[in-house]
């Protein structure tokens, strides 16, 4: 009979960074019974080596949490820090994927919060900071942007309600918030409906662009925009009723 550490090693060897690995698959590949698998992955989660999600388990690659290069990093850090300061203890919030949003966990000081996220990067950072409750909807992990998306509707979203939804987008113009992935837009649209306050995090490089084929939502759906002091055309923002915050680097 294998020792627990040997079983855990074998489990880790059969996990994929590209998608959620099911318990059934692990049982078949390792020949361990289901109760043993569940017990071992629970121990692996406590050691921050995996994340248990609906439908299975995902490995954590700690040395790849933060990309080596982020465009306009200082501006995005300033925006993310301001956003993190808006989070209160015991709040239920949503943090969407994207480079700016992925920086929010770096500045979160509260521990007793509930966070729903579709970002593998955000989830990993939050778990490493011992945040009380991190929820990931099931789906496929897209390795190029570390997002978890699915064409299906999950009960997790249906039964969740957030006081704040932090999101970003590929570009922004008078049409609204734009993205280039249909599944991402579908998912984000469903999150808008379960959130009290919509907070957009966007740096100056995203304004007045048509970089995206799909509209997430029109600008009048946004409650607050957090951007950086490099933005020159503030008249564009003044046309709308949302609150605008200009951060300092």
| Spatial separation of the C-alpha atoms in residues 135 and 114, rounded to whole Å | 8
pLDDT in tens, 103-155: 999 999 888 999 999 888 898 889 888 887 888 876 555 555 555 555 555 56
Give residue 63's pLDDT: 47
Strand partners, 147: 119, 142
| Spatial separation of the C-alpha atoms in residues 161 and 116, rounded to whole Å | 10
Q: Tell me how many degrees the CA angle 207-210-216 measures, rounded to the nearest 5.
A: 85
Evaluate whether 225 touches 242 at the Cβ level (below 8 Å).
yes
Give residue 221's pLDDT: 93
| Spatial separation of the C-alpha atoms in residues 183 and 192, rounded to whole Å | 15
Spatial CB neighbours of 69, under 8 Å, sequence gap ≥ 6: none
- The strands making up 171-173's β-sheet, listed across from edge to edge, are 171-173, 176-179, 214-217
* Domain chopping of the chain, boundaries: 4-60, 73-247
Query: Angle of helix 4-13 relative to helix 34-46, nearest 10 degrees?
Result: 90
Residues of the chain with pLDDT under 50: 63-65, 68
46, containing H or E segment:
helix 34-46
| Spatial separation of the C-alpha atoms in residues 164 and 194, rounded to whole Å | 9
Q: Are strands 176-179 and 214-217 parallel, antiparallel or unpaired?
A: antiparallel
* pTM of structure: 0.71
- Architecture of the domain whose range is 4-60: Orthogonal Bundle (1.10)
Give residue 68's pLDDT: 43
Give residue 115's pLDDT: 95
Q: Give all strands (DSSP E) within 38-161, no chain letters.
A: 50-53, 56-59, 92-95, 114-117, 133-135, 140-142, 147-149
Q: For the domain bounded by 73-247, which CATH number is listed?
A: 3.40.50.1360
Q: Tell me how many degrees the CA angle 88-90-91 measures, rounded to the nearest 5.
A: 60
| Spatial separation of the C-alpha atoms in residues 85 and 108, rounded to whole Å | 7
Q: Are strands 92-95 and 162-167 parallel, antiparallel or unpaired?
A: parallel
Q: Which long-range contacts (CB under 8 A, 24 or more apart) does 140-147 make?
A: 140/18, 140/19, 140/20, 141/17, 141/18, 141/19, 141/20, 141/58, 143/17, 143/18, 145/97, 146/97, 146/102, 146/119, 146/120, 146/121, 147/97, 147/118, 147/119, 147/120, 147/184
């Amino acid at each position: 009979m294998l020792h627990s550490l040997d079983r855990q090693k074998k489990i880790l060897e059969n996990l994929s960074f590209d998608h959620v690995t099911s318990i059934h698959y692990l049982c078949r590949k390792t020949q361990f019974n289901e109760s043993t698998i569940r017990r071992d992955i629970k121990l692996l989660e406590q050691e921050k080596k995996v994340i248990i999600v609906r439908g299975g388990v995902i490995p954590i690659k700690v040395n790849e949490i933060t990309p080596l290069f982020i465009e306009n990093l200082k501006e995005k850090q300033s925006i993310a820090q301001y956003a993190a300061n808006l989070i209160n203890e015991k709040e239920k919030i949503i943090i969407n994927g994207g480079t700016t949003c992925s920086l929010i966990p770096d500045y979160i000081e509260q521990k007793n919060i509930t966070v729903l996220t579709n970002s593998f990067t955000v989830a990993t950072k939050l778990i490493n900071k011992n945040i009380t409750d991190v929820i990931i909807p099931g789906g496929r992990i897209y390795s190029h942007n570390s997002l978890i998306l699915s064409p299906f509707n999950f009960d997790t979203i249906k039964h969740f309600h957030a006081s704040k939804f932090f999101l970003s987008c590929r570009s922004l113009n008078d049409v609204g918030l734009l993205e280039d992935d249909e599944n991402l837009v579908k998912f984000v649209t469903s999150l808008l409906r379960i959130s009290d306050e919509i907070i957009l995090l966007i740096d100056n490089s995203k304004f007045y662009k048509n970089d995206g084929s799909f509209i997430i939502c029109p600008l009048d759906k946004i409650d607050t925009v957090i951007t950086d002091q490099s933005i020159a055309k503030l008249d564009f923002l003044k046309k709308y009723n949302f609150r605008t915050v200009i951060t300092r680097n």
